[in-house]
Structures are given as structure tokens and as C-alpha cells.
Structure 1
Amino acid sequence: MIRRILSLVEPFILMLLGTVVLASVLPARGIWATVAADAADVGIVLLFFLHGAKLSREAIWEGARNWRLHTAVFATTFVVFPLLGLAFGNVPGLAGPVASGLLFLTLLPSTVQSSIAFTAIARGNVAAAVCSASFSNLIGIVLTPALVALLMRGIGGQDSGIALSAVQSIVLQLLVPFVAGHLLRPWIGGFVIRQKALLTLVDRGSILLVVYSAFGAAVVEGLWSRVSGTDLALIALLCTAMLGIVLVLTWLAGRVLGFTREDAIVLLFCGSKKSLASGVPMAGVLFPAAQVGVVLLPVMLFHQIQLVACAVIARRYANARSIAEAEAIA
């Protein structure tokens, strides 16, 4: 049982935890804090540039074809989740910045890699999952900051509206690199797609840099004196409850809307995910440095919970299909 649980823990999660420990013990101070923050900014720009170069125009157009499925995923990601975030963010006893982080989690787009991977394991519509997850991330670049500006003002006693400088940072660090990478795709797209190791390094390296810089700044400002073990347990409990609610709702929606088994699997996995890869750099742009570390706690915990839960569900779907095929042959 212990080995099975450990097998579901990504090595990257261990790297994230190690980065949080490092930032807690040896946070960057003075000039080194500036260096770490600048390195994180460079990593974010490069990350979105490469994602723009990787996303094909065909995937964008394809995303508009199965409109009922993609609308359902979009509604779950950017309507149902935020409504849950507003409700859960007002739980009594939840610290202000933590409540902001819980709501911020619900405003993020869906993941790409794990949504597609779990859809494939469950024998779902992989092509639709690619389109839906890609579309979610594409529109999330603009929609997530807009939802933050609309919904996060006053949550947990925080004034989290977006200032003009934050809007400029979003455009310069996220949108412009993404568009530039996509426009250059005819010349560099093939190279970028072939360099899987480079993509992985930039993806994970940029996230680790932002996490180290963010948690270091938060530790210097007294993070662990503001967030207790009870707070962490409460965050984990709320993230688990939120994921459970969305999994049930997406499963029911797939049946009510009459989706095929393959499309219902896409709604289940793409609709229930939240992207750590998008959440970390966006938090670094949208929130003050001292607040980012606290805001990211729910995102990091939800990420691991969703991986474990969806890995189990995907394997059950795969086993059920294998049994059905075996019975059909017999």
C-alpha cells in the first residue's frame, strides 16, 4: 500500500517540496532576492514563449468544432470552480491570504499534460482532450487575470484587485511571449516539439524558480508564523472536498448531456483539473512578492490531490473497458 501511494507521487512534487524547504531555511535576501526574482521572470517569459511555439494552429481551430464538449469543460473550469472558490473562501477560521489562494486556485485553467495522460489511460477521446486542455490554457492567459480582478477584491479581507502595473506585467510576461512564440511556430515549432528535455527543463525550472523566490519572500515576511499546521490541514481538506464535488458534477453532466463514454471521460478529467504550470507564474505576476507563497499553498496541495485521485479513477475506467472488451470477445 505504501509503495502504491509513493508511486503516485511525482518526482516533481518532491522537488517542489524540497524547494519550499530550501526557501524556508535559506530564503534569498537583499541583492540575492532581486536576482532570484529576475531569474524567475526570465523563466516565466521563456515558458510562455515555448508554449506558444508548441501549440499548433490546427489545435486551436479543432478546439472550436466539438463545441458542446468544450463548452462544458469551459463552464466547469471558469464558472463552477470559481463559484465553489467563492463559497469555500469564506469558510470561518481561514486566514485571509489563504482564502485568496483558495479562490485563486479555482480561477486557473485546466492542466494540459495530466488531463491528456489520464484521458488516454481511461481510453477516452484523446484528440478532444488535447483541444480542450489547450483551449483552456490559451483563454486562461486572459481570463484568469480578468477573473482575479473581478472576484478577488475583498476576499479574506484582502484588496486583491489588479493594478495597472500588474496588467502590464501580464501582457509583457505572459501574453506577448506566447503570441511571439506562436507567430514564430512555422520556423521554430518543429525544433521546440522535438526538444522534450528542454521543454521539461523550462517548465519545471521556471516553476521551481518562482516557488523559491515567492516562498523565500514570504518566509522573510513571516509566512510560517501566519500559516499553522491546522491551516495546512484545512486547506488540504477543502481542496479534497472541492475536487470531489467537481468530479461528481462532471460525471453527472456527462450523462445528462448525453456524451459518449469517450467524451464524458474528457469532461471528467479536463474539467476537474487546475494547472500548477500556469498558476505559479501567474501568481508571481498578479500578487505582491510577500503574498505569493501563501497564495500558492492551495494550488500545490490541490495539484497533488488531483493527481492521486485521477490516477485511481483513470485506472478503474481502463480496467472496466478491458473487462468489457474481454466479455465481448468471449
Structure 2
Amino acid sequence: MLKLLAIDRFTLLLVLMVVLATILPIHGQAAIIFNLLTTIAIAILFFLHGAKLSREAVVQGIMHWKLHAVVFAFTFLLFPVIGLLAKPVLLPMLGQQLYWGFLFMCFLPSTVQSSIAFTSVAKGNTAAAVCSASFSNIIGMFITPVLVSFFILGQTQHDFDPTSSIIKIVALLLIPFILGQVLRPWVFPQMAKKPSIVKAFDQGSILMVVYGAFSSAVIAGLWHQVDGLTLFYLVMACSVLLTIVMLLAQFLPKLLGFNRPDQVTIFFCSSKKTLASGVPMAQILFIGQPLGLIVLPIMIFHQIQLMVCGVIAAKWSRQENDTPSTMLKSES
């Protein structure tokens, strides 16, 4: 049943972290130590991501600058515009903090691992996906704080300066990534012997951040602020957002003349938002805010996107195996 619903072990662990934080929230000195360990785990994760990224794939992928421009437009223009236009509808339904979380999700870069994985399964341009997803995450370290400053925190904190947040994000995410690239000749051979190590840090660091964030939120009264109806509205909002973006990401590349592999790459890289980078960024950007409410939308969107993309990637893979020349067909 879990396989049929495209629900993996990681999703169940995310739910478990929320339940655990609800029952046994961490606080006091233990929370300070736990947050320090979480920060270290995230830095190691991005170091491993840097060491894993092939320079040959980057060089090959950079040649498709038109593809990257389309992905960039979807990620940092279309998503934010939809999120901002939806404010009159979503703000009364979700409340201020949850709407901030929804808008913050729209400002985030694309995923890396899942974008590459789904592109590969659906027989897309994997090299371009590696480059596009990685570039999205790197540029997002600068663009996301600026968008948050201008459209969220700048509305309530008129003296908010994104510079310090950008510096913290660069120190936590970008510098370890670059260091991993520099040390790739020595680190990657060891990683190849233990391919599960990146996955372990990827999932483990996110689980730690989610537990810490929801512990603070529970102590601050999270479940007194979010009822079942509000949660339903949030799920519907995420589903509608994903549907709109996916429809545009499927048909626009055709109109722009991209071939089938590039269409697949644009579809999967343009329609997703990162949980791995999003939660650490939220910790830095929303200091003093109810972090549990801020990260709840991206957690929900993350699972919906994985379920939908898993089904579509499998179907496109079967289509390509049956008729190699078949172009992307309409998905409802």
C-alpha cells in the first residue's frame, strides 16, 4: 500500500519526527546542543553534495543555457508570482504564519537529488538536470533571502537586512559545497564505496531540523493554531500550486521547441521545491518566528511532489521504452 501511494520510509520518518516533537519536544540546554549538532550535519551534507557533483556533468550541462533560463524563470519568477497573487485567498484561510510559510516555499530553489532521479527514470537529459538543479540551489542561497526580505519580513520588520542572512546561508551551505568540489578527487572515491552515506546525511539532517523546529513550535502552541480544516486548506493550496506549475512546465517547453529529453528535464527541475535547503534557510531567516508553521507548507508540498512525480516519471519511462520517439503526452 505504501508503495502504491508512493510513500517512502523517509516520509514516515518525517511524520514520526512531528509526532515525537509533539509528545517529547526538546528544550532548554538539550535543544541548544541539538541545534549545534544539526548545523554540523547540514554542513557535512552540502560538503558531500559538492564532492558528488561531477565537473564533467557541470560543463556539459552549462551548454544548455536556454534550458536553465526556463527552469530559473519557473523557480524564481512563476512560483513567487503565483504565491503573491494567491494572498487574498490564502491569507484568510491559512493565517499569517502559514501563508508566510507557503510564500517562503514559493521562493525556494528546486530540489537536487529527486530532480536528477526523476529525470533519469523518465529518460530525460540527466546531465542538464544535474547542472540546472545544482545551479538553482546555489543561486537560491542569494535570491531566496532577498525575496523573503522584500515580500515577507520587510513588510513587518522595516529595518530587516538580508545581508547577514545571506552570509550565514553561504557559510552553512555554499562554502561546504565548494570545499566538497575542491576535495572531490579524494572524497568521491570513498563515497563511491559507500553510496548510502549521502542519503543518510541528506535524510538525517532534515529529520533533525524538523524535530528541532517542531519541538519549538509545539512549545509555542503549534497545535492550538492549526486545526484540521486549516491543514486541509494547506494541502489543497499546495496541490493546486503544483498542478498549475506542472501543466505549464509540460506544455511551455514544447512551444519553445525543446526536444523530448530537455522537456523532461525542465518538467522535473521546474516543478519542485527543496526541503533539504529550505528548512536550514528557514532557521536562519525566520529567527524568532514560529518555525514549525513556516516549514509545514514545504513539508506537505515535498511529499505531494514526490508522489506525483514518481507516478509521472514511471509512466513516461514506460512510454519511452514502448515507443522511443514518443513525445510527452498530456497528463491530467
1:28 match: 26
Which consecutive unaligned segments of at least 5 residues does structure 2 have? 327-332
Distance change (3 Å), C-alpha of 1:177 and 1:238: same
Once the two structures are superposed, what CA deviation does each residue of 1:46-78 show, in whole Å capped at 9, x if it has no partner? 222222222233333333211111111111111
1:131 matched to 2:123? The reply is: no
Once the two structures are superposed, what CA deviation does each residue of 1:228-264 show, in whole Å capped at 9, x if it has no partner? 1111111110000000000111111111101111111
2:282 match: 283
8 Å CA contact retained: 1:89, 1:102:
no
1:113 match: 113
1:33 Cα offset (Å): 1.5
Alignment partners' CA distance in 1, 2:131 and 2:163: 32
8 Å CA contact retained: 2:119, 2:313:
yes
Alignment partners' CA distance in 2, 1:190 and 1:88: 47
1:121 Cα offset (Å): 2.1
8 Å CA contact retained: 1:152, 1:159:
no
Alignment partners' CA distance in 1, 2:95 and 2:312: 32
Distance change (3 Å), C-alpha of 1:208 and 1:324: same
Distance change (3 Å), C-alpha of 1:160 and 1:260: farther
Alignment partners' CA distance in 1, 2:239 and 2:278: 18
1:211 Cα offset (Å): 0.7
Once the two structures are superposed, what CA deviation does each residue of 1:293-329 show, in whole Å capped at 9, x if it has no partner? 11111101001111111122122222322332599xx
Alignment partners' CA distance in 1, 2:202 and 2:96: 30
Count of residues in Structure 1 that have an aligned counterpart in Structure 2: 324
Residue range with higher mean Cα deviation, 306-315 or 234-243? 306-315
1:81 match: 79
Which consecutive unaligned segments of at least 5 residues does structure 1 have? none
Instruction: State how 1:10-89 maps to structure 2 within 5 Å.
Output: 10-89=8-87
1:4 Cα offset (Å): 5.1
Secondary structure, counterpart of 2:153 in structure 1: coil
Residue range with higher mean Cα deviation, 237-246 or 309-318? 309-318
Instruction: State how 1:145-184 maps to structure 2 within 5 Å.
Output: 145-153=145-153, 161-162=160-161, 165-184=164-183
- Structure 1 length normalisation: TM-score? 0.90
Alignment partners' CA distance in 2, 1:154 and 1:235: 24
Alignment partners' CA distance in 2, 1:268 and 1:168: 31
Alignment partners' CA distance in 2, 1:76 and 1:320: 26
1:195 Cα offset (Å): 3.0
Distance change (3 Å), C-alpha of 1:58 and 1:323: closer
Once the two structures are superposed, what CA deviation does each residue of 1:23-43 show, in whole Å capped at 9, x if it has no partner? 111001211121221121111
Alignment partners' CA distance in 2, 1:224 and 1:203: 27
1:103 match: 103
Distance change (3 Å), C-alpha of 1:194 and 1:110: farther
Alignment partners' CA distance in 1, 2:220 and 2:199: 31
8 Å CA contact retained: 1:115, 1:270:
yes
2:213 match: 214
- Structure 2 length normalisation: TM-score? 0.90
The percentage of aligned residue pairs carrying the same residue is: 45
Alignment partners' CA distance in 2, 1:160 and 1:288: 14
Instruction: State how 1:193-204 maps to structure 2 within 5 Å.
Output: 193-204=192-203
Give the residue type in structure 2 aligned to 1:11: R
Residue range with higher mean Cα deviation, 307-316 or 166-175? 166-175
Distance change (3 Å), C-alpha of 1:160 and 1:276: farther
8 Å CA contact retained: 2:98, 2:297:
yes
Alignment partners' CA distance in 1, 2:277 and 2:305: 16
Secondary structure, counterpart of 1:110 in structure 2: coil
Give the residue type in structure 1 aligned to 2:272: K
Residue range with higher mean Cα deviation, 129-138 or 292-301? 129-138
1:238 match: 237
8 Å CA contact retained: 1:96, 1:158:
no
Distance change (3 Å), C-alpha of 1:106 and 1:41: same
Distance change (3 Å), C-alpha of 1:50 and 1:326: closer
1:161 Cα offset (Å): 4.5
Secondary structure, counterpart of 2:25 in structure 1: coil
1:3 Cα offset (Å): 5.4
